[in-house]
Chain A
């Protein structure tokens, strides 16, 4: 069964450093999302992406964040200058045209020291 994959599974970085989290959505899907979950808290929406552009973003998704689909398969989230409060699990999700269900990847645990 097709699945969303994410790399790395765990990323440790120093405050102020840039990180790139990578996702490979399900191959025929057209809508892509990033969510995050701070330990013990809700899963929160960050950004959605369709047709090579951002379609919606939350208040969390400020100028330090960016997303890109550099080729036909990868979908990346970049945090330009990480802060301690960026430490969280980051989940990528995707769904197809006309489909209601979003499929989530296993997540990347980001730890900012």
Chain B
């Protein structure tokens, strides 16, 4: 089955800067990738979905890109704030509908 990897376990950035998180997958390109936010002890909260025929998707300060040649998705948070501190998960949808999650990147935005 498909595998998915998030390269950075942790990322610290200064408030106001842009955070960029990376997600790589193996084998065939999934129909779409999703990004979730998870706070400690809580369930994943859906943020953005991007389809394989879309290069980029935006929602407020969030931007996701999808490069099927590199087999990679990038997740950007612009003008980051301490409240953005959380673990961000990428997930791909298997043909049988279940999600396969990456291990997550713990983002800390320093004031």
Contact = CB atoms under 8 A, between A and B. Distances in A.
Interface of A: 4, 31, 33, 35, 41-45, 48, 55-56, 58, 89, 91, 93, 100-107, 109
Interface of B (DSSP majority class): strand
Q: Tell me whether chain A's interface is mostly helix, strand or loop, or mixed.
A: strand
A42 B97 contact: no
Interface string B41-75: 11111100100000000000000000000000000
Nearest to B103: A42
Contacts of B93: 100
Interface in B76-101: 89, 91, 93, 96-101
B34 A105 contact: no
Contacts of A100: 32, 34, 49, 93
Which 10 A-B residue pairs are closest in the complex by CB-CB distance?
Answer: A104-B43, A45-B98, A43-B101, A56-B96, A104-B44, A91-B43, A107-B43, A42-B103, A106-B43, A101-B46
Nearest to B96: A56
13 contacts: A4-B43, A33-B99, A41-B103, A42-B102, A45-B99, A48-B98, A56-B98, A91-B43, A93-B99, A100-B93, A103-B46, A104-B44, A104-B46
